[in-house]
């Protein structure tokens, strides 16, 4: 059976800063219910590609598509309303609001924008949530393992918990596509395992397509259906984790390891 087409597609993306080509004719696909990994050394162009895909910058060449609709000229906010969500390398939350309130703001930004603006402009804080909204947020908290922390302020929470809050906040908009920017950076082994489990549950339950940028290559290979490798702004390899492990260009340009080392932990 033929696999359905991608729900998100970057076609021939090229980004230049003056005379420097940071991303050079890169293609990337994200499929529903799957993780596409994006790896490469520092300076490879991963962050620039992410910015172009999410709408923070506009590529000089190429196009971005979502569910068959071109979104290249749409802002990040417009893309979010169409079902694109992203996280950032450093968690950015409303530290004076509880975890529940952070998720509530994200939910209302997509599904009750007028209500959200009324709450914010009134100065009285967030009004009581309708039952459907409360149920949606509590289901999401249970999915990622945040139930015990809903009443807590993010300030003072461990980094791993903050990453879960950011993941849940992104999912509160019920996205079709989720762009994750180094979500495991700085986490210890236990926090990483918890976040991996949460992400797997999210993909299985919500069928969201994920583009994952991460420095931990083994982690990416273990989570992803397909992996793209950037080096100096160019796509030097693309394939299954098994194919990436054995690709000589990847070993030479990025991983710097012998095939025997790369095959450790292979699925």
Q: What is the C-alpha end-to-end distance of the chain, expressed in Å?
A: 23
Confidence of residue 123 (pLDDT cuts 50, 70, 90): very low
CA-wise closest residue to 29 among 12, 53, 60, 7: 7
Select the highest-mean-pLDDT range: 7-11, 73-77, 99-103, 252-256: 7-11
Q: How far apart are CA 235 and CA 72, in angstroms?
A: 20
> In CATH, what number is assigned to the domain containing residue 228?
3.40.50.300
Confidence of residue 51 (pLDDT cuts 50, 70, 90): very high
- Cβ 178 vs Cβ 159: under 8 Å: no
In a domain, 1, yes or no: no
Confidence of residue 266 (pLDDT cuts 50, 70, 90): very low
Q: How far apart are CA 28 and CA 11, in angstroms?
A: 7
**Lookup: tokens for 50:** 């992410």
Select the highest-mean-pLDDT range: 94-98, 113-117, 201-205: 201-205
Q: How large is the average pLDDT for residues 102-125?
A: 66
In a domain, 35, yes or no: yes
Confidence of residue 124 (pLDDT cuts 50, 70, 90): very low
Q: How far apart are CA 244 and CA 81, in angstroms?
A: 34
| Alpha-helix runs per DSSP H in the chain | 46-54, 76-81, 99-111, 113-122, 131-144, 159-171, 189-206, 217-223, 241-246, 248-250, 259-262
In a domain, 157, yes or no: yes
Confidence of residue 49 (pLDDT cuts 50, 70, 90): very high
Complete edge-to-edge strand list for the sheet that includes strand 20-30:
20-30, 8-17, 61-66, 69-70
Name the residue range of residue 116's domain: 8-262
- Mean pLDDT (the chain) is 86
pLDDT cut 70: percent of the chain above it = 86
- C-alpha distances (whole Å) from 206 to each of 32, 34, 209, 244 are 9, 11, 9, 27
Q: Which of the pair, 95 or 128, is modelled with greater confidence?
A: 95
Residue 204: pLDDT over 50? yes
In a domain, 267, yes or no: no
Residue 12: pLDDT over 80? yes
Q: What is the pLDDT of residue 251?
A: 79
Q: What is the pLDDT of residue 167?
A: 95
In the chain, how many domains are there?
1
pLDDT in tens, 148-184: 999 999 888 999 999 999 999 999 989 999 999 999 9
Residue 247: pLDDT over 80? yes
Of 82-91, 114-123, 203-212, 247-256, the range with the lowest mean pLDDT is 114-123
Q: How large is the average pLDDT for residues 3-11?
A: 90
Q: How far apart are CA 52 and CA 73, in angstroms?
A: 10
Q: What is the pLDDT of residue 250?
A: 85
In a domain, 251, yes or no: yes
In a domain, 3, yes or no: no
pTM comes to 0.86
Residue 158 parent element (H or E) = none
In a domain, 2, yes or no: no
In a domain, 104, yes or no: yes
Q: What is the pLDDT of residue 132?
A: 81
Q: What is the pLDDT of residue 263?
A: 43
Instruction: Report helix angle 159-171 to 131-144, nearest 10.
Output: 140
Residue 223: pLDDT over 60? yes
């Amino acid at each position: 059976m033929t696999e359905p087409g991608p729900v998100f597609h970057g076609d021939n993306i090229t980004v230049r800063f003056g005379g420097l080509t940071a991303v050079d004719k890169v293609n990337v696909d994200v499929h529903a219910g799957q993780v596409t990994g994006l790896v490469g050394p520092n300076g490879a162009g991963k962050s620039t590609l992410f910015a172009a895909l999410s709408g923070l910058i506009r590529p000089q060449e190429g196009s971005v598509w979502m569910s068959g609709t071109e979104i290249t000229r749409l802002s990040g906010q417009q893309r979010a309303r169409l079902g694109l969500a992203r996280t950032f390398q450093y968690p950015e939350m409303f530290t004076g609001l509880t975890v529940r309130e952070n998720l509530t703001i994200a939910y209302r930004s997509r599904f009750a924008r007028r209500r959200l603006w009324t709450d914010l402009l009134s100065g009285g804080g967030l009004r009581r949530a309708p039952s459907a909204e409360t149920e949606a947020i509590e289901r999401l908290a249970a999915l990622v393992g945040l139930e015990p922390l809903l009443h807590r302020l993010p300030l003072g929470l461990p980094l791993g918990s903050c990453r879960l809050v950011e993941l849940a906040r992104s999912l509160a908009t019920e996205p079709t596509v989720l762009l994750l920017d180094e979500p495991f950076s700085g986490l210890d082994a236990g926090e990483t395992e918890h976040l991996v489990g949460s992400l797997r549950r999210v993909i299985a339950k919500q069928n969201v397509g994920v583009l994952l940028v991460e420095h931990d290559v083994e982690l990416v290979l273990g989570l992803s259906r397909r992996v793209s490798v950037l080096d100096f702004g160019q796509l030097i390899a693309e394939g299954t984790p098994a194919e990436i492990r054995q690709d000589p260009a990847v070993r030479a340009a990025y991983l710097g390891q012998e095939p025997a080392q790369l095959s450790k932990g292979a699925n």
